[in-house]
Amino acid sequence: MRHAIAHLPVSFFSMAVGTLAWGQSWQAAALVWPLPAALVAWATALGLVVWLVLLAIYAFKCWAQPKRVQAEFNHPVQSALTALLPVSTLLAALSCKPWAPTLAWCLLGLGLVAQLTLGLWAVGRFWQGGRAPESVNASMYLPGVAQNFVAATASASFGWTALGGLFCGAGLFSWLALESLVLSRAALHPALDVGQRPLQGIQIAPAVVGGLSYLSLTSGPPDLVAQMLLGYGLYQVLLAVRLGRWTTQAVFAPSYWAFSFGVMALASMALRMWARAPDEGLWQILAPVTWGMANLFFAVLLWHTVRLALQGRLLPTAP
């Protein structure tokens, strides 16, 4: 078991990101429904526990297998997934802010520095060329888009609105620049390898994670920009459903957690828009539907993940 843990891939932090985002969807739901405070707290705490466990395991890997960690940071696909470390840290800062403000501020500072450093390093590699088409997929959104959008939300939540606006701009234009590249690769080159197809679930996230950032930087009823971002997120969900059979040709693996961040952010965004415009009939329909879908999807992911763990097939086979 120790040897297997030492080979834990950094992509497993998608579980922490998805669980933390699920807990924050419960916080958003508490804005519109009288949910028991204990349930909201437990949902939030679950994400923090998953993040702490994975962080401890990965720290052990850094000590036991530093060359494998270095190889992940240099791999054309896995290097983008290393952005899940700062993203999960920033989400953890948001989650523990009500309980441990001092710790939350420390995590915020650490996450902001880490995401900016890692983002510049990873995106800088894109500019140097030499990438093979088969290494291009939606995971490329993580370093420049996801990190900046989450940094914007976290900064605004801690009162640094101006800084949040800067991060939001960096995430927005990085997203627009990468979108055509990812779609071009998908349309003009051979289909993604079956094992990489679940990573396309990340495609749902940019619009709604960016939408949450936009809502955190603005006030009042959701304007046209927020509505457009939510609309594009919903369109990407429908597209993912249309491609469901093609995507799920691969047996269940932790890579399916790539869908979780976008699905949870979609529900959170719809709920927050409803909270800010309670009389709008469309949000009264979309918010319960998307939140119910998010909870069902999370339950399916959790059940399959626990089943793999009980069967001893969750962790990768150590070479």
pLDDT of residue 312 exceeding 70, the answer is: yes
Between 129 and 168, residue with greater pLDDT: 168
Mean pLDDT, all residues of the chain: 92
CA–CA separation, 145 and 196 (whole Å): 20
pLDDT of residue 31 exceeding 90, the answer is: yes
CA 201 from centroid of its chain's CA atoms: 10
Confidence of residue 319 (pLDDT cuts 50, 70, 90): very low
Q: Is the dihedral of CA 165, 168, 169, 170 positive or negative?
A: positive
Contact indicator for 287, 273 with CB cutoff of 8 Å? yes
Confidence of residue 2 (pLDDT cuts 50, 70, 90): low
DSSP 183-224: HHHHHHSPPPPGGGGGGGGGGGHHHHHHHHHHHHH--SS--H
pLDDT digits (tens, 9 = 90+) for 146-172: 999 999 999 999 999 999 999 999 999
**Which candidate, 97, 3, 83, places its Cα nearest to that of 41?**
97
Question: Per-residue pLDDT averaged across 196-209, rounded?
Answer: 94
Contact indicator for 25, 271 with CB cutoff of 8 Å? yes
pLDDT digits (tens, 9 = 90+) for 35-50: 999 999 999 999 999 9
- Predicted confidence at residue 1, as pLDDT, reads 59
User: In angstroms, how far apart are the furthest CA atoms of the chain?
Assistant: 58
| Domains within the chain, CATH numbers bracketed | 2-127+136-310 (1.50.10.150)
CA–CA separation, 216 and 144 (whole Å): 19
